[in-house]
Amino acid sequence: RTGCAIGVPAVVTTNALVPVCAGMNDESTVAVSLVDAFTEEPLAGNAAGVVTGADALTDEQMQAIARELSVSETAFVRESDEADREIRYFTPQAEVDLCGHATVATHAYLTETGVIEAGTHTLATNVGVIEIDISEEGVVWMGGETPSVRPVEVEYGRLADALGIDEIALSEPGVELSPAVASTGEPFLIVPVTYLQALLQAEPDDAAIEELCAAVGASGIYAFTFDALDPDSTLHARAFASPVGISEDPVTGTASAAAGAYLQRMNAFGGEIPAEMLFEQGHVLDRPGTVRVRVDDGVRVGGHAVTALEGELTVPAVEDDEIVEV
């Protein structure tokens, strides 16, 4: 275990970046990275902050770092007594229990820097211990909690207003799927949309989405259509998570897992669900990415990730209320 005595700096190594610890009255420096998940190209997919060796950071410092990095989630890697490692996840506004793209980004980064190797790893999260599988080709696969799918009654007019979409795109005759809250660790309201143009032109109302999600017990809305851009994609999706401070998330792992559970439970493919599905997302934000989803043995999501930026942040001492400084 890498530790720090009060006032004694820790060593920063190439393969295991750890924070420089300081006394209560001193600032400290932490190594941070921005890693783009669900893509093999930088500046695409979903960017996650990755902070390794985060054991010495307080909740307030982790929240301040996440606010400074200002990506949808930042992962803080810590030691664990029950798993190979622990991750805590923070949006710029709050801690969340689980984040798919930050998990993929972190394990891809740890593999890239030689800290871990391909194989099976265990990860402690706020929803329990989950398994992470890393293929020899660098694909990171993660599981989650036992899937749950809960049908909800939502007025299509209210839902259409929240999404900024024509109501006919949600309730067109012949549509067999209906909204439901699904989760493998983070609950999302899954909303089927009949055609791509309607989804691409949606103009969500953050306040209305927040109110709706509170009413149904969800962290966000995952709207999807089978009318995808890429012929190899199973569906095209957009994710709106204003309840946790994210107006629109580029490519969302936990929501994709929830959607996989939803499609399986709703028998969306007439009992012939594909062995592996491809969910495309992020095009509206100019950050396209693809999530691989399997539902054969529980629900798992997978993808590649690439490091886009590495650097350091100066973090105020614990008693300081000032914002972190670059």
Q: Residues with catalytic annotation?
A: 73
Compute the Cα dihedral for 294, 51, 288, 118 and give only its sign: negative
Strands 188-192 and 220-225, how do they pair?
Answer: parallel
| Widest distance between CA atoms in the chain | 68
3-state helix, strand, coil in the chain (%, to 5): 20, 30, 45
Which residues touch 4 (CB under 8 Å, ≥6 apart)?
10, 19, 20, 21, 56
270, 102, 240, 230: which is closest to 159 by C-alpha?
A: 240
| Interatomic CA distance for residues 158 and 8, integer angstroms | 57
70, 2, 1, 64: which is closest to 27 by C-alpha?
A: 64
88, 102, 35: which is closest to 60 by C-alpha?
A: 88
| Interatomic CA distance for residues 72 and 253, integer angstroms | 12
| Interatomic CA distance for residues 166 and 156, integer angstroms | 10
User: How long is the chain?
Assistant: 326
| Interatomic CA distance for residues 90 and 16, integer angstroms | 21
197, 252, 322: which is closest to 72 by C-alpha?
A: 252
Strands 235-241 and 220-225, how do they pair?
Answer: antiparallel
